C-alpha cells in the first residue's frame, strides 16, 4: 500500500541549472503544503500602529493577531522550503530575503 503524505515529497536542490524543472517541482511541493498562494501573492503584514478601529483585546483584534501569526508561520515554512532547495552557491542570492515571495 502506497502512502500519500506530502512530507514524502523530496525537495529538489537548485544548483543554477534546469531552473524550469526545479520551479515546476517546487511549485507542486509548495501547493501540496498549502503554501503556493502565499509564495506567489505574498502578504501584507498588519501594522500594529494602525488599529483600524479595533480596540486592543477585542475579539476582532485577537482574531486578526492570530491570523497574522498563522500567516507568518506559513510564510516562514515556505521560506524554509525554498532556502533548503537551493545549493550553497545559490543561497547568497536569497539570504537576505525575509519572505517566501521575495526569495
pLDDT tens figures, 1-41: 444 554 567 899 999 999 999 999 999 999 999 999 999 99
Least confident of 47-51, 55-59, 70-74: 47-51
What grid cell was written down for 92? Answer: 547568497
What grid cell was written down for 45? Answer: 503584514
The answer to whether the CB of 101 falls within 8 A of the CB of 41 is: yes
Q: What is the pTM of this model?
A: 0.78
The answer to whether the CB of 89 falls within 8 A of the CB of 28 is: no
Domain ranges of the chain: 57-96
The answer to whether the CB of 26 falls within 8 A of the CB of 85 is: yes
* CA distances to 4, 49, 63, 96 from 67, in Å: 28, 17, 6, 25
Supply the pLDDT for residue 42: 94
Amino acid at each position: 500500500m502506497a502512502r500519500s503524505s506530502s512530507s514524502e515529497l523530496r525537495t529538489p536542490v537548485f544548483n543554477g541549472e534546469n531552473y524550469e524543472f526545479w520551479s515546476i517541482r517546487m511549485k507542486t511541493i509548495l501547493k501540496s503544503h498549502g503554501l503556493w498562494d502565499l509564495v506567489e501573492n505574498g502578504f501584507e503584514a498588519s501594522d500594529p500602529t494602525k488599529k483600524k478601529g479595533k480596540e486592543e483585546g477585542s475579539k476582532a483584534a485577537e482574531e486578526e493577531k492570530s491570523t497574522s501569526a498563522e500567516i507568518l508561520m506559513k510564510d516562514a515554512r515556505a521560506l524554509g522550503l525554498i532556502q533548503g532547495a537551493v545549493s550553497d552557491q545559490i543561497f547568497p542570492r536569497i539570504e537576505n530575503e525575509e519572505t517566501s515571495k521575495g526569495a
